[in-house]
């Protein structure tokens, strides 16, 4: 079975009602309206359940299983279709008669009496149950018997209420059976709260409030999907109404109606009472929709007693609805007259505006001629100003270029001076190292210590130490000239791809490569010679570093060339 999206959404909304913050009365009524609009989908859902039970019934393996499934189908149809419910009840009558099970026959008679009473066949209902005696019945059957007798006398009283005959005697008999039912019913029985609530409608307000709190404990956890949920919400609404709390009365009667509509209950008292409440609150539109649904359900069920009680209320609601329609019609006429008057006024205003616009057009034409002359003079002045501005811009540009060239020249001269001094110092240092090395070799050679000479000349430690010292000297002099190079360079990289020297280093290999780029050495072969590595190694370092940059390749190199400023002392 496939349900439409709106009904699935509404059912999901209803299912989450207990877990939600307390919904407003309007939200509950909107939810109920949606359920009524999509009632066909709800009936399809109910039919799917019925079809499932029918399939199981056709595959039943024994009499007890058929009896149980017939009873399940009776329970479903007892709220929806009397004829179908009676059909499955008769099937169980035949099974019970065949088995000679008197207890089952008694239970079926009580259920059949209920169906007769529900359709308004009150005499037939009374005759069906007349042969039973409560004292001879087990506890469950006795409860069902008392409940049915109370239901029968309630229907008799409601039926006679529309006639001159006094119906109070039947209500009294109904209350007697309800009291008997409560005396044999356990407090954890699903229907206990329903009958207890009815017995307290005439009690003191304190007793009603105490029971209301007890009823809330059960109802606030319910999902509004069972007949017991519908009954408990209905009686809670009646108790609030008795206490004069109209808002809570409407809330819980609406919840009861939501549960009844979801169950496809056509014997729906909750919606009838809700229609009356909406009428009292002036919500005639909803009252009209609700009472129409109630009458339609009562005729399809059919429930003659409920139809007879709905008719006067429906007449009252229809009268109010017709009056509302007449009022709306009068308002439409008034609005139509007002719109007509406004249309005439608008037409007059349009004509006046058109005349004024023509006069403005003539005035604007004269002003346009004057503006044209002024614009010609302004254009001449603007061209002159533009020429002066261009000349000033060129002069400013030349000054900026000259200033930049001077800065670069000063910086280049300073760098050259620093590095020339550094190179001379380094050459002198290496000459002294070579002389010391020569002396050491000469000393070992004089005493013929050839193994020591081989040890000194075979290893690469001297080269490594010299390169390490050379790089350290280079890093020192470069960072002396460009003290902020590392932070400036990292600002060109992605935040999570920063390059920082290891502990004990001033510059890493990547930073040293781009330090040479900053000095103007961009050729990878020259950089490789300087760093004593292969050009491919230099290329790989530069490629990985460019991938970390936040700038394109060409812009990145140019940005590196301009990083930092030489600190000229």
Rounded to the nearest integer, the mean pLDDT of the chain is 83
Average pLDDT of the segment spanning 253-277: 91
Going by pLDDT thresholds of 50, 70 and 90, the confidence category of residue 7 is very low
- Rg of the chain on CA atoms, in Å: 50
Q: Could you tell me the CA-to-CA distances from 90 to 77, 84, 449, 493 in Å, in that order?
A: 13, 10, 127, 87
Going by pLDDT thresholds of 50, 70 and 90, the confidence category of residue 19 is very low
Q: Does residue 8 carry a pLDDT above 50? A: no
Give the rounded distance of the alpha carbon of 87 from its chain centre: 47
Average pLDDT of the segment spanning 2-20: 48
- Whether the CB-CB separation of 196 and 182 falls below 8 Å is answered with yes
Going by pLDDT thresholds of 50, 70 and 90, the confidence category of residue 469 is confident
All residues at 6 or more sequence positions from 556 whose CB lies less than 8 Å from its CB, including other chains: 492, 546, 549
Following DSSP, what letter does each residue of 28-41 receive, concatenated? Answer: HHHHHHHHHHTHHH
Q: Could you tell me the CA-to-CA distances from 286 to 253, 289, 466 in Å, in that order?
A: 14, 5, 98
pLDDT tens readout for residues 229-259 = 999 999 999 999 999 999 999 999 999 999 9
Q: What tokens appear for 216 in the block?
A: 């809330």
Give the rounded distance of the alpha carbon of 230 from its chain centre: 29
- Express as a percent the part of the chain with pLDDT over 70: 84
- Whether the CB-CB separation of 114 and 299 falls below 8 Å is answered with no
Going by pLDDT thresholds of 50, 70 and 90, the confidence category of residue 347 is confident
Sign of the torsion formed by the C-alpha atoms of 474, 479, 481 and 485: positive
What is the distance between the alpha carbons of residues 300 and 88, in angstroms, rounded to a whole number? 18
Residue 34: half-sphere exposure toward Cβ, Cα within 13 Å: 17
All residues at 6 or more sequence positions from 162 whose CB lies less than 8 Å from its CB, including other chains: 308, 309, 312
- What SS3 class is residue 166? coil
- What SS3 class is residue 131? coil
Q: Does residue 395 carry a pLDDT above 80? A: no
Going by pLDDT thresholds of 50, 70 and 90, the confidence category of residue 501 is confident
- State in Å, rounded, how far the first CA of the chain is from the last one: 89
* Nearest Cα residue to 287 out of 558, 1, 29: 29
- Whether the CB-CB separation of 253 and 237 falls below 8 Å is answered with yes
* Nearest Cα residue to 35 out of 13, 50, 51, 17: 13
Q: What tokens appear for 438 in the block?
A: 């020569």
Torsion angle (degrees, nearest 10) of CA 519, 520, 526, 527: 50
- Whether the CB-CB separation of 500 and 509 falls below 8 Å is answered with no
Average pLDDT of the segment spanning 163-176: 76
pLDDT for 95: 94
What is the distance between the alpha carbons of residues 184 and 143, in angstroms, rounded to a whole number? 7
What is the distance between the alpha carbons of residues 461 and 464, in angstroms, rounded to a whole number? 5
What is the distance between the alpha carbons of residues 129 and 189, in angstroms, rounded to a whole number? 23
pLDDT tens readout for residues 475-496 = 888 888 888 888 888 888 888 8
Going by pLDDT thresholds of 50, 70 and 90, the confidence category of residue 16 is very low
Q: Does residue 384 carry a pLDDT above 90? A: no
Q: What tokens appear for 368 in the block?
A: 């346009």
- Whether the CB-CB separation of 564 and 521 falls below 8 Å is answered with no
Q: What tokens appear for 549 in the block?
A: 């940059």
Q: What is the 3-state secondary structure (H, E, C) of 173-221?
A: HHHHHHHHHHHHCCCCCCCHHHHHHHHCCCCCHHHHHHHHHHHHHHHCC
What is the distance between the alpha carbons of residues 470 and 476, in angstroms, rounded to a whole number? 10
pLDDT for 125: 93
Return the residue matching tokens 């999907």.
Answer: 225
What is the distance between the alpha carbons of residues 365 and 356, in angstroms, rounded to a whole number? 14
pLDDT tens readout for residues 549-565 = 888 887 888 888 888 66
What is the distance between the alpha carbons of residues 424 and 24, in angstroms, rounded to a whole number? 91
pLDDT for 507: 87
pLDDT for 305: 76
What is the CB neighbour count within 10 angstroms for residue 562? 10
Q: Could you tell me the CA-to-CA distances from 16 to 22, 58, 221, 329 in Å, in that order?
A: 11, 36, 11, 41
Which residue would you say has higher pLDDT here, 411 or 315?
315
pLDDT for 116: 93
Q: What are phi and psi of 548, to 5 degrees?
A: -85, -10
pLDDT for 484: 85
Which residue would you say has higher pLDDT here, 209 or 165?
209
pLDDT tens readout for residues 452-466 = 777 766 656 666 777
Sign of the torsion formed by the C-alpha atoms of 457, 461, 466 and 467: positive
Average pLDDT of the segment spanning 392-411: 63
Measured at the CA of 522, the angle between CA 517 and CA 525, to 5 degrees, comes to 125
Average pLDDT of the segment spanning 383-400: 70
Which residue would you say has higher pLDDT here, 219 or 87?
87
pLDDT for 567: 52
Question: Per DSSP, what are the bridge partners of residue 549?
Answer: 493
- Whether the CB-CB separation of 182 and 199 falls below 8 Å is answered with yes
Mean pLDDT is lowest, of 287-296, 302-311, 433-442, 500-509, for 433-442
Q: Does residue 411 carry a pLDDT above 50? A: yes
Instruction: Name, of 236-250, 291-305, 386-400, 430-444, the range with top average pLDDT.
Output: 236-250
All residues at 6 or more sequence positions from 132 whose CB lies less than 8 Å from its CB, including other chains: 106, 109, 110, 145
Average pLDDT of the segment spanning 270-289: 92
Q: Which pTM does this prediction carry?
A: 0.57
pLDDT tens readout for residues 363-375 = 888 788 777 887 8
pLDDT tens readout for residues 83-118 = 999 999 999 999 999 999 999 999 999 999 999 998
Question: Per DSSP, what are the bridge partners of residue 493?
Answer: 549
- Whether the CB-CB separation of 568 and 410 falls below 8 Å is answered with yes
Q: Does residue 202 carry a pLDDT above 70? A: yes
Average pLDDT of the segment spanning 281-285: 92
Q: Does residue 13 carry a pLDDT above 70? A: no
pLDDT for 547: 86
């Amino acid at each position: 079975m496939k349900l439409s999206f709106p009904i699935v959404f509404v059912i999901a909304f209803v299912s989450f009602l207990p877990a939600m913050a307390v919904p407003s009365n309007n939200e509950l009524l909107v939810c109920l309206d949606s359920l009524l609009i999509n009632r066909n989908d709800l009936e399809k859902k109910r039919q799917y359940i019925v079809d499932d039970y029918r399939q199981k019934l056709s595959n039943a393996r024994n009499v007890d299983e058929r009896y149980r499934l017939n009873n399940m189908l009776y329970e479903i149809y007892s709220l929806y279709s009397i004829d179908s419910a009676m059909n499955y009840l008769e099937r169980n009558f035949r099974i019970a008669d065949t088995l000679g099970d008197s207890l089952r026959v008694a239970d079926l008679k009580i259920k059949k009496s209920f169906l007769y009473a529900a359709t308004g066949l009150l005499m037939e209902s009374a005759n069906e149950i007349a042969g039973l005696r409560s004292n001879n019945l087990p506890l469950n059957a006795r409860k069902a018997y008392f409940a049915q007798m109370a239901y029968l006398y309630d229907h008799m009283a409601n039926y006679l209420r529309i006639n001159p005959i006094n119906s109070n005697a039947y209500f009294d008999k109904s209350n007697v059976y309800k009291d008997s039912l409560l005396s044999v019913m356990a407090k954890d029985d699903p229907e206990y709260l329903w009958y207890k609530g009815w017995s307290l409608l005439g009690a003191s307000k304190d007793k009603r409030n105490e029971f209301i709190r007890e009823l809330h404990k059960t109802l606030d956890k319910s999902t509004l999907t069972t007949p017991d949920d519908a009954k408990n919400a209905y009686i809670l609404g009646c108790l609030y109404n008795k206490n004069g709390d109209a808002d809570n009365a409407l809330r819980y009667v609406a919840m009861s109606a939501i549960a009844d509509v979801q169950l496809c209950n056509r014997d729906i008292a909750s919606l009838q009472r809700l229609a009356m409440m909406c009428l009292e609150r002036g919500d005639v539109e909803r009252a009209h929709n609700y009472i129409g649904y109630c009458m339609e359900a009562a005729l399809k069920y059919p429930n003659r007693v409920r139809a007879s009680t709905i008719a006067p209320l429906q007449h009252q609601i229809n009268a109010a609805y017709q009056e509302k329609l007449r009022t709306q019609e009068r308002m439409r006429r008034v609005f139509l007259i007002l719109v007509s008057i406004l249309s005439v006024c608008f037409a007059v205003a349009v004509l006046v505006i058109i005349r004024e616009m023509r006069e403005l057009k003539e005035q604007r034409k004269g002003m346009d001629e004057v503006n044209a002359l002024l614009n010609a003079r302004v254009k001449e002045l603007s061209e002159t100003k533009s020429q002066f501005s261009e000349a000033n811009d060129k002069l400013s540009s030349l000054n900026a270029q000259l200033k930049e060239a001077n800065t670069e020249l000063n910086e280049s001269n300073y760098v050259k001076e620093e590095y020339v001094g550094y190179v001379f110092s380094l050459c002198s240092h290496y000459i002294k190292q070579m002389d010391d090395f020569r002396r050491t070799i000469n000393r070992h050679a004089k005493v013929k210590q050839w193994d020591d000479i081989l040890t000194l000349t075979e290893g690469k430690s001297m080269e490594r130490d010299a390169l390490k010292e050379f790089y350290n000297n280079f890093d020192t002099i470069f960072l002396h000239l460009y003290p902020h190079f590392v932070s400036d360079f990292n600002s060109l990289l992605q935040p999570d791809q920063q390059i920082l020297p290891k502990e004990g280093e001033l510059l890493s290999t990547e930073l040293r490569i781009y330090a040479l780029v900053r000095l103007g050495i961009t050729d990878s072969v020259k950089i490789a010679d300087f760093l004593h590595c292969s050009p491919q190694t230099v290329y790989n370092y530069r490629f990985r570093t460019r991938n970390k940059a936040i700038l394109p390749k060409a812009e990145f190199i140019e940005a590196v060339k301009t990083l930092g400023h030489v600190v000229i002392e």
